[in-house]
Amino acid sequence: MTIVDRFNASPLEALLWALALLISVVLHEYGHAWVAIWQGDDTPTKNGRFDWNPARYLDWTGILLFLLIGFGALGYVKTQPWKYRNPVWGSFAVSMAGIVMNIGLVLMAATLLRTLETRVLPFGLDLERSLGNAAMVGGVAYTSSLAPGWVLYFLAQLLSLNVILAVFNALPVPPLDGANALAAIVPGSLGASLRAHLNQSWWLLFIVIIFLREPLGHLIFTVQSWVLNLLF
């Protein structure tokens, strides 16, 4: 579903979803930048991609594609691995930093939902939108007597989006973070070959999205179900 579809269905929910996505993408990229700088690479600072201005982290071409077709690279931070104090560990840490940030946001959203005494009801439950203290996100109903529905919707979207971002970016498919992390720790000539071809293998991601959309969606759904069962 594109942002236009969401806005037509519910302007408020579309804005809350967009805000949750913006926070998630910016902090994901900020994680990459922070760890790269910690490893000795000043490239994010020189490129103006190490501050709290969200616009500096966004890829506007990717955002346009995302608005039109529902998929696109929303943000990026350029780094120079050869500047890292430890090229192997540094490359792995920088690659995983965004995913770790997404996991942190999942835990934060879950903690806030639990603080609000939120109940997570079974998948597929038909919950009327007229209930002021309830929200539906991804087929899951969230209810609480301590918060209005829009607060629950925002926190639930923050949780759901970051599960999606963490799982998707962890895939060992170029140019995703999982592929970069794997290439960093694979030794010998195989690792060198992987690193050499990372930037020329974008087509693999399109194959996954076009031909493996259903199993990928099932994987994300399974992980989200596990996370909800674990945290609630």
pLDDT per residue as tens digits for the range 46-90: 887 777 777 777 777 766 666 665 666 677 788 988 899 998 899
Higher pLDDT pick, 24 / 175? 24
- The pLDDT score that the predictor gives to residue 40 is 94
Which token pair is 59?
A: 């890829």
Confidence of residue 144 (pLDDT cuts 50, 70, 90): confident
pLDDT at 128 over 60: no
**Total of domains in the chain:** 1
Q: Percentage of residues in the chain with pLDDT exceeding 70?
A: 83
Q: What is the pLDDT of residue 59?
A: 73
Give whole-number Cα distances, 36 to 46, 47, 48, in Å. 12, 13, 14
On the question of pLDDT at 131 being above 60, the answer is no
pLDDT tens, position by position, 29-54: 999 999 999 999 999 988 877 777 77
Are 43 and 79 in contact, with CB atoms under 8 Å apart? yes
Mean pLDDT of 188-205: 68
Q: Are 104 and 93 spatial neighbours (Cβ–Cβ below 8 Å)?
A: no
Is the pLDDT at 218 greater than 50, yes or no? yes
The residue segments making up the domain with residue 141 are: 3-231
Under 8 Å CB-to-CB from 78, ≥6 apart: which residues?
43, 44, 47, 49
CA 16 – CA 117 distance, rounded (Å): 21
Helix (H, G, I), strand (E, B) or coil at 40: coil
What is the per-residue pLDDT for 121? 77
- How buried is residue 66: exposed, middle or buried, by Cβ count under 10 Å (0-12/13-18/19+)? middle
CB neighbour burial string for 139-162, b if at least 16 within 10 angstroms, e if fewer: ebbbbbeebebebbbbbbbbbbbb
Provide the residue count of the chain. 232
**DSSP letters spanning 198-213:** GGG-HHHHHHHHHHSH
Across residues 98-108, what is the average pLDDT?
Answer: 97
Q: Which of 78-82, 172-176, 207-211 has the lowest mean pLDDT?
A: 207-211
What kind and span of H or E run contains 42? none
Cα 204 versus chain centre, distance: 19
What stretches of the chain adopt beta strand conformation (E)?
119-121, 134-137, 140-143
Instruction: State the average pLDDT for the chain.
Output: 83
* pLDDT value for 62: 67
What is the reported pLDDT for 97?
96
Average of per-residue pLDDT across 188-210: 70
pLDDT attached to residue 11 = 87
Strand order in the sheet with 134-137: 119-121, 140-143, 134-137
Residue 117 has pLDDT above 80, yes or no: yes
